[in-house]
Amino acid sequence: MWKKLNLRARIDLLLAALVVVALSGGSVMVWYTYRIQNLFAQIIDQNLACYASAAALETALVNQKGYVTYYYLDGDPTWLEKFEEQRKLFDEELRRAQHLAHKHDQVERMKQISDLYTQYIAQKTQVIEYYQTGRRAEGAELHKTVRGLFFEIMDLCEKYKMEHFEEIQQAQAKVGGEASRLRLAGIGSILVHMLIVIGLGVFVVHQILVPVATMLKDAGGDSELNPSGNIVTALSQSVSTLLKNVDQAQHELEKSRENLLQSEKMAMVGRLAASMAHSIRNPFTSVKMRLFSLSRSLKLDEAQQEDFQVISQEIRHIDTIVQNFLEFSRPPKLVMQAISPSAVVDNTLQLLSHRLDSYGVAVEVKRQQPLPEVLADPEQLKEVLVNLIINACEEMKSGGAIVITESVRTKAGRPQAVLHVADNGPGVPSANAEKIFQPFFTTKDEGTGLGLSIAHRIVTEHNGNLRLDPTHAKGAAFVICLPVKENKA
């Protein structure tokens, strides 16, 4: 039955049991307090009153005897008046005691006292008359009998007192028993409360706190986020964080899905472009060869030669575009060898010397000593430098200067060879700084947007890094970092 209840029902049932036990214990306590109060009231109203009446009877009887004795000694009639007062007081207390008697033996005891007192008063009066008439010998003889009645009445009053005293003791014992039972009931109530509280604590720990702590641990919650130590609050924070992470992951997943679809489209376009470029390149190769043959065999005037040069340049431009598409779609395998980047710089500048002169661009190489060797493909690195230098020349339309600075730096405990290629041209706008290495991004009218993308890919394949230097004040500056070849010795 207990296992079939849900968590809320179990907690409600334990709390209800705790409330019922608390109300029951409180009710028992209140009932016992009223019962004890009634017992004390009974003691005060009956037994103590009867005890006091018996004591008053004894006092009045002793006073009667004393006043008569004083009269026997000096014959003063004032003592007889006081005797009469004590006699009336005794009669009043006797009636009161008879009224308070509630048991049969007590009623019988008061009847005996009343009968003996009647005899006592009659004989006491007779003794007084004997003394008043001068018959003292007869009075003394009768006084012996009166004395016996006195002690007999005193003995009955004392017994009556003791009976009520015993009832008071019995009532006290009864009250003590009730108090003991009340204490036991209180202790039992406390024990039951403790058991229920312990059961509730164990239930809360095992059914709530332990699962919540496990959930918090599985959720990766951090107790430092919650200095109060409240694991429920920590779990709430962790769940909120998880929900935020889920939302963020869903957003990233949707974004990745879009990027994947875009990548698939780009891959399809790349394959199509590669196929088209390969198909187009062969006819253009034949056209170039025929144009070369025609240029040697035909005799053209100046206007025809200018047209022929324009046609040749455009064909070379188209061939360059096709070559870029082929390199982008099918990058060649790297032929790695140990070589100094300084040697690649020298070969590149020697290759581009005539083109640099045609652009009116001067190149300065700042080198303290040749750079250490790196594992690289010299032809691919040369293509990277050619791309950067030609781009700088094309941007500096009216001529300019290019400075190539060589240096060595250490990153993560490993040396790197650094090439800093800077020009004094118009530079790269900040809005385009993050886009220049993306495929097909270009600001030129006749550009393909693949040059820097191919250069970035080549440097990355060499475990290096190609980036734009944002600290360069004037013009554009690119930084090439390549890891230095490790010395096995």
Fold of 7-209: Four Helix Bundle (Hemerythrin (Met), subunit A) (1.20.120)
**Can you read off the two tokens belonging to residue 385?**
């430098």
Domain layout of the chain by residue ranges:
7-209, 231-330, 335-483
Sign of CA dihedral 79, 81, 85, 86: positive
Angle of CA points 403, 407, 410, to nearest 5°: 145
In this prediction, residue 405 carries a pLDDT of 92
Q: pTM of whole model > 0.75?
A: no
- b/e map 13-25, b = 16+ CB within 10 Å: ebeeebeebeeeb
On whether the 335-483 domain is CATH 3.90.550.10, my answer is: no
In this prediction, residue 272 carries a pLDDT of 64
Q: Which CATH number is correct for 231-330, 3.10.20, 3.40.140, 1.10.287, 2.30.110?
A: 1.10.287
Q: Say if CB 482 and CB 462 are below 8 A apart.
A: yes
Q: Say if CB 132 and CB 72 are below 8 A apart.
A: no
In this prediction, residue 235 carries a pLDDT of 64
Cβ–Cβ contacts within 10 Å for residue 50, how many? 26
In this prediction, residue 223 carries a pLDDT of 46
Residue 363 to residue 353: CA distance in whole angstroms: 9
In this prediction, residue 228 carries a pLDDT of 47
Q: What is the DSSP string of 282-303?
A: HHHHHHHHHHHHHHHH----HH
In this prediction, residue 216 carries a pLDDT of 66
Q: What is the DSSP string of 423-439?
A: E-SS---GGGTTTTTST
In this prediction, residue 225 carries a pLDDT of 44
What averages of pLDDT result for each successive group of 10 residues across the chain (489 residues)?
67 74 71 67 67 81 82 81 85 82 80 86 84 81 84 84 76 72 75 77 73 70 50 67 79 80 66 61 66 69 74 70 60 80 91 86 91 90 89 83 91 88 84 72 63 84 88 85 78
Residue 365 to residue 356: CA distance in whole angstroms: 14
In this prediction, residue 483 carries a pLDDT of 92
In this prediction, residue 419 carries a pLDDT of 92
In this prediction, residue 440 carries a pLDDT of 66
Angle of CA points 274, 279, 284, to nearest 5°: 115
In this prediction, residue 278 carries a pLDDT of 55
